């Protein structure tokens, strides 16, 4: 389904989605973030500081509550994610491509019920990139595109005074038909314009991971390279790179005791981070990733070697956040290219 939506109707469309909670990009204190939309939605944003991954995989989520009363069997009460549906508007293509990667992780080997329960109630309404890429964007070199529809339910393309709106999934079709009378049929001129906008977007030069298909073998060959420690020397282990990444998904599970008599508490999942020194610390005190080099190697190899080996695609979507936001300037594109070059 492909339609035209006059820009003056975007808020009417959102209003028609009254059974959905709507999120959109909001600028607060100079930072773009997805927030509940109240009033007019703005879709003139660069990418948001955080990806929308937290909608299906929250930073902190309670699995169950526990209670142990002396002499009685322990009581466990599962906390089931609520069924509220969320539609997030303005998702850029790199973040859209994060969605199928997260879906693979949380359905591989084990169906993660908590992720699945949230994920089925999230719809991603994407916005194709039609401006020159940011200085750290590199989606094209990792198999993506500024106009990719991967992971999206709807793709919108800005045509000036109107949007070209394309349903990518049945969920997307439902979002559009909920406000069917607002949409018009695209003319031949609209079709031509959207093709041109997409062609122009793809033609903008970007940074690049060179020859991404050859990278897994080169990384494998570089496992013991001293270059890792050299490249990671400045890392302070803050974890910003992975917390902001649309595809990083490591987590920890802890029991938090809230009262001792009677014993009560909650089991909680929180995001964890392979760049933290104690992420792989054994109870013996041994740490198999004992320095920043080993931890940087893990982050890069997970994206560009292990994930491609397991799922046939890089885990990096080229959003550039880890490059832009690293406080010490560690740059994953430069790191991959350097290690590959060094491997010969």
Rounded Cα distance, 17 and 178, in Å: 7
The nearer residue to ligand SF4, 81 or 133, going by C-beta atoms, is 133
Residues in contact with 109: Cβ distance below 8 Å, sequence separation at least 6, in sequence order: none
Interface with ligand SF4 (CB under 6 A), residue from 125, 127, 182, 240: 240
Per-residue mark of binding to ligand SF4, 245-284 (x: CB under 6 A): xxx---------------------------x---------
| Of 58, 55, 33, 51, nearest in space to 271 by CA | 58
The nearer residue to ligand SF4, 237 or 265, going by C-beta atoms, is 237
Asked if 166 is part of the footprint of ligand SF4 (rule: CB under 6 A), the reply reads: no
Interface with ligand SF4 (CB under 6 A), residue from 238, 266, 334, 343: 238
Asked if 335 is part of the footprint of ligand SF4 (rule: CB under 6 A), the reply reads: no
> How near is the Cβ of 250 to ligand SF4 at its closest, in Å?
13
Q: Maximum Cα–Cα distance for the chain, whole Å?
A: 76
The nearer residue to ligand SF4, 165 or 336, going by C-beta atoms, is 336
SS3 238: coil
Rounded Cα distance, 267 and 105, in Å: 21
The nearer residue to ligand SF4, 156 or 319, going by C-beta atoms, is 319
| Of 330, 312, 325, nearest in space to 246 by CA | 325
Rounded Cα distance, 306 and 308, in Å: 6
Interface with ligand SF4 (CB under 6 A), residue from 56, 140, 330, 340: 330
Asked if 122 is part of the footprint of ligand SF4 (rule: CB under 6 A), the reply reads: no
Asked if 236 is part of the footprint of ligand SF4 (rule: CB under 6 A), the reply reads: yes
The nearer residue to ligand SF4, 76 or 234, going by C-beta atoms, is 234
> How near is the Cβ of 31 to ligand SF4 at its closest, in Å?
16
Cite the DSSP H helix spans in the chain: 10-16, 93-105, 113-119, 170-177, 188-203, 215-221, 227-232, 240-243, 292-301, 307-311, 321-325, 332-343
Asked if 241 is part of the footprint of ligand SF4 (rule: CB under 6 A), the reply reads: yes
Q: Taking contact as CB under 6 A, which single stretch among the options 9-17, 66-74, 123-131, 324-332 is the one that binds ligand SF4? A: 324-332
Token output for 86: 């969320």
Rounded Cα distance, 54 and 56, in Å: 5
Token output for 325: 């936001």
Strands 2-6, 183-184: pairing is antiparallel
> How near is the Cβ of 298 to ligand SF4 at its closest, in Å?
11
Asked if 129 is part of the footprint of ligand SF4 (rule: CB under 6 A), the reply reads: no
Is 161:9 a contact under the CB 8 Å cutoff? no
Site for ligand SF4 in 284-323 (CB under 6 A): 303, 316-322
The nearer residue to ligand SF4, 92 or 166, going by C-beta atoms, is 92
The site for ligand SF4 (CB under 6 A) is made up of: 235-241, 244-247, 275, 303, 316-322, 326-328, 330, 332
């Amino acid at each position: 389904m492909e339609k035209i939506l006059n820009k003056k109707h975007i808020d009417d469309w959102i209003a028609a989605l009254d059974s959905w909670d709507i999120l959109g990009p909001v600028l607060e204190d100079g930072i773009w973030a997805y927030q509940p939309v109240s009033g007019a939605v703005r879709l003139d944003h660069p990418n948001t500081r955080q990806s929308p991954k937290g909608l299906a995989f929250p930073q902190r989520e309670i699995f169950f509550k526990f209670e142990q009363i002396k002499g009685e069997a322990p009581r466990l009460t599962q906390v089931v994610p609520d069924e509220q549906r969320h539609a997030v508007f303005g998702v850029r293509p790199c973040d859209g491509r994060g969605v199928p990667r997260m879906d693979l992780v949380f359905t591989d080997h084990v169906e993660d019920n908590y992720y699945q329960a949230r994920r089925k109630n999230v719809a991603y309404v994407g916005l194709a990139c039609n401006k020159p890429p940011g200085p750290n964007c590199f989606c094209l070199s990792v198999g993506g595109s500024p106009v990719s529809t991967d992971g999206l339910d709807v793709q919108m393309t800005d045509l000036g005074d109107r949007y070209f709106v394309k349903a990518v999934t049945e969920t997307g079709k439902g979002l559009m038909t909920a406000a069917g009378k607002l949409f018009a049929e695209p003319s031949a001129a609209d079709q031509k314009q959207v093709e041109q906008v997409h062609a122009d977007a793809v033609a903008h030069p970007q940074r690049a991971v060179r020859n991404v298909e050859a990278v897994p073998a080169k990384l494998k060959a570089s496992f013991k390279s001293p270059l890792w420690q050299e490249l990671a020397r400045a890392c302070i282990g803050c974890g910003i790179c992975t917390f902001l990444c649309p595809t990083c998904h490591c987590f920890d599970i802890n029991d938090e005791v809230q009262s001792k008599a009677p014993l009560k508490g909650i089991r909680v999942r929180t995001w964890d981070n392979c760049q933290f020194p104690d992420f792989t610390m054994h109870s013996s005190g041994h740490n198999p990733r004992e320095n920043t080099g080993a931890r940087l190697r893990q982050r890069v190899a997970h994206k560009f070697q292990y994930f491609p080996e397991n799922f046939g695609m890089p885990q990096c979507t080229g959003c550039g956040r880890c490059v832009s936001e690293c406080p010490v300037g560690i740059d994953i594109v430069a790191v991959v290219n350097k290690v590959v070059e060094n491997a010969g």
